[in-house]
Amino acid sequence: MPGGIVILGAGQAAAQLAVSLRQGGRDGPIRMVGDEPYAPYQRPPLSKAFLKERPPADSLLLRGAHYWTDHKVELHLGTAAAAVDRTRKIVGLRDGRMFDYDTLVFATGTRARDLPLPGIDLPGVFSLRKIDDVRRLRPALDDARRIVIIGGGYIGLEVAAVMRQEGRDAVVVEAEDRVMKRVAGETISEFFDGLHRSRGVDIRLGCRLASIDGDDSRASGITLTSGERIAADLVLVATGARANDDIAKAAGLLCEEGIVVDDFAHAAPDIYAIGDCARFYSRRYGRKIRLECVQNAIDQAKAAADAILAKPKPYDPVPWFWSDQYEIKLQITGLLDGFDAAETIGNPADAKFSVEYRKGGKLIAVDAVNDGRAHMLGRRRIAADLPEVGGG
């Protein structure tokens, strides 16, 4: 029997790929190998409503349980892929099984970035990327009065918002001089900094960490290189993610902190990579990018499906992303690549405004706060201003 399509990873991008392949009329085996014990689920609520409202894990599933059996997509869950033999076209799983493939797709996502710090392995130190992380974190949060969050990116701030809504003390420790520096412009950082402080979050900027403190039983706080000690009942590390590209690298694929793919999500003959684990050249922005957002997981999976179905369409997105903090929705579209002008539209004091970023007169990014219309228009206007693949 031909090996069919094997998808490594069973997350957002893997799910969309399998769905698009079946919708496109692809028969034959599709196997998905996921190291988590869950069918494909959406990750964004983990740091938002799921953390706060504690619905059953089923509420996160991207498709009902029957979808996969009805569409003959085999899910092999709770087991990791360990190696790929490209010559024999075989994937070896950690549990010893081997699957042949005709087409192999990496959809392995990201993992929390290592933070080499004394005390990082103490009980009471958590990260947040998976359902099982929330399962461990949530009861510990319930017992905590004061938490320290390392990292003032969107995940750290979303958790800080939930903590304040529950009446817990939250300290956010950020190495940069402003929060969300990697994804948003200064006006947006200022707005969210003010928002969190007004709700009682203790934000510390420009901090370097010396250690996480505690004893064998639990973490009890952190120490900064300045010598200052910040006590905590629990420490959450939210310092970003790195691509799961180790297996691809070991199989000889080109990886640059992300599996390098072309406009069609193609990494090598009969091998694709999609979603958070893939890096590709954006003609719109003139550099290779690796995106960590649902939009990219879905749209790049669709592009890979089109290519596998022999209807290739180049993929060169205007990326977009959202974050929910308290009652505020931030929507970010485009990339802040070397903008030379920024214009704020509306008044941040009204908690409804947007910021437009231009480079050489062209709109390259729009950050919108509680302004869905500005976000939608921004996406269209950036697409019009920046040429896409083949557009010049």
Where do contacts with ligand FAD occur on this chain (CB under 6 A)?
Answer: 8-14, 33-36, 43-44, 46-47, 80-81, 107-109, 128-129, 155, 244, 247, 275-277, 292-294, 297, 321-323
User: Which residue number, 189 or 244, has a Cβ lying nearer to ligand FAD?
Assistant: 244
Residue nearest to ligand FAD (CB): 11
User: Which residue number, 14 or 141, has a Cβ lying nearer to ligand FAD?
Assistant: 14
Could you tell me the smallest distance in angstroms from the CB atom of residue 107 to ligand FAD?
5
Question: Alpha-carbon distance 352 to 368, whole Å?
Answer: 8
Question: Alpha-carbon distance 145 to 104, whole Å?
Answer: 47
Could you tell me the smallest distance in angstroms from the CB atom of residue 317 to ligand FAD?
12
Could you tell me the smallest distance in angstroms from the CB atom of residue 285 to ligand FAD?
18
Could you tell me the smallest distance in angstroms from the CB atom of residue 302 to ligand FAD?
13
On whether the CB atoms of residues 33 and 128 are closer than 8 A, the answer is no
Burial class (CB in 10 A: 0-12, 13-18, 19+), 101: buried
Mention every residue, 6+ apart, whose C-beta is less than 8 A from residue 350.
Answer: none
User: Which residue number, 11 or 214, has a Cβ lying nearer to ligand FAD?
Assistant: 11
User: Which residue number, 12 or 354, has a Cβ lying nearer to ligand FAD?
Assistant: 12
User: Which residue number, 107 or 222, has a Cβ lying nearer to ligand FAD?
Assistant: 107
User: Which residue number, 129 or 196, has a Cβ lying nearer to ligand FAD?
Assistant: 129
294-308 vs 12-23: helix crossing angle, rounded to 10: 40
β-strand partners of 75: 32
Could you tell me the smallest distance in angstroms from the CB atom of residue 50 to ligand FAD?
9
Question: Alpha-carbon distance 27 to 4, whole Å?
Answer: 9
Could you tell me the smallest distance in angstroms from the CB atom of residue 229 to ligand FAD?
28
Could you tell me the smallest distance in angstroms from the CB atom of residue 310 to ligand FAD?
23
Could you tell me the smallest distance in angstroms from the CB atom of residue 60 to ligand FAD?
11
User: Which residue number, 185 or 275, has a Cβ lying nearer to ligand FAD?
Assistant: 275
Phi–psi pair at 84, nearest 5 degrees: -125, 130
| Residue with the two structure tokens 């990219």 | 296
User: Which residue number, 8 or 144, has a Cβ lying nearer to ligand FAD?
Assistant: 8
Could you tell me the smallest distance in angstroms from the CB atom of residue 226 to ligand FAD?
30
User: Which residue number, 35 or 213, has a Cβ lying nearer to ligand FAD?
Assistant: 35
